[in-house]
Amino acid sequence: MNVCKSFCSFLFCILLCLINVNDSSAQDRARIIKNDNQTENSKQTQPGMLIQTSQRPTLPNNTFNPQKSPALVKKTTSSQPVNNNSYNSALKTFYSSAPFKQNLFFAIQKRIGIPYRMGSTGPNSYDCSGLVWSVFQDAGFSYERASARSLWHSSESVEGDERFKFGTLVFFNRLGHIGIVVDENGFYHASSSKGVTYSKFDGYWGKRIAGYRRMIFVK
């Protein structure tokens, strides 16, 4: 009888221990789940946190749009000069500036001796207007390629000492030929017999001058 009592007491103690262990485990699980929820909530509500989305950012309406600098020589729908006193004044200043003249001179010098070919603008051959166009491009004075006659009609006349300033255009043979004035003694041009060369005004060429011009606007 005493043995049975002792055995029952032993089983009752074991059962109480098991119940206490289960209660403790359940409380720990609840505590862990609660902590996880709190962590998740803190992630969602933490101030200043970067939240990734699949949407692209919207560009502002005042996005910077840089403007291009205006071209030195305007391209117009007409081959006639455009009346714009302030622009023409600035153009004349550039045309007579030392950097422009220096660049023009170097552009001509590196082409000396290159042969002539009708309609060519280089680099292996030039005609008269093709040479003028090419060296002026190198010097920073841009315009559309044009014949000697077209350049005459889209440029302004110069008189007196202005005729013999380096860079002035000189026209010959009823506007069939064009060159670039060096000074009162001569000019550079693309000769059909000598290629790109320097010639004097004395003699043959001096008798065939049609006039002197300075470019403003070219079609």
For residue 172, what pLDDT is reported? Answer: 97
Neighbours of 71 (CB within 10 A): 9
- List the structure tokens of 126: 């030039």
- % of the chain surpassing 90 pLDDT: 47
CA atoms within 13 A on the CB side of 141: 28
For residue 161, what pLDDT is reported? Answer: 92
Mean local confidence (pLDDT), 98-104: 91
Mean local confidence (pLDDT), 56-73: 33
Q: Is the pTM of this model over 0.85?
A: no
CA max distance for the chain: 156
CA atoms within 13 A on the CB side of 61: 0
- List the structure tokens of 213: 């011009």
For residue 95, what pLDDT is reported? Answer: 74
- Reported as a pLDDT band with limits 50, 70 and 90, residue 141 is confident
Which fold is adopted by the domain 85-215?
A: endopeptidase fold (from Nostoc punctiforme) (3.90.1720)
Asked whether residue 54 carries a pLDDT value surpassing 80, the answer given is no
CA nearest neighbour of 127 among 206, 193, 217, 207:
193
- DSSP character for 218? B
Q: Which residue has the higher pLDDT, 92 or 4?
A: 92
CA nearest neighbour of 209 among 185, 182, 175:
175
Asked whether residue 73 carries a pLDDT value surpassing 60, the answer given is no
- Reported as a pLDDT band with limits 50, 70 and 90, residue 111 is very high
Residue 174 and residue 117 in contact, taking contact as beta carbons nearer than 8 Å: no
Mean local confidence (pLDDT), 149-171: 93
3-state percent helix, strand, coil for the chain, nearest multiple of 5: 45, 15, 40
For residue 128, what pLDDT is reported? Answer: 97
Asked whether residue 182 carries a pLDDT value surpassing 50, the answer given is yes
Residue 129 and residue 145 in contact, taking contact as beta carbons nearer than 8 Å: yes
Asked whether residue 189 carries a pLDDT value surpassing 70, the answer given is yes
Name the phi and psi angles at 97, rounded to 5: -75, 150
- What is the C-alpha separation between 86 and 208, in angstroms, rounded? 34
For residue 143, what pLDDT is reported? Answer: 87
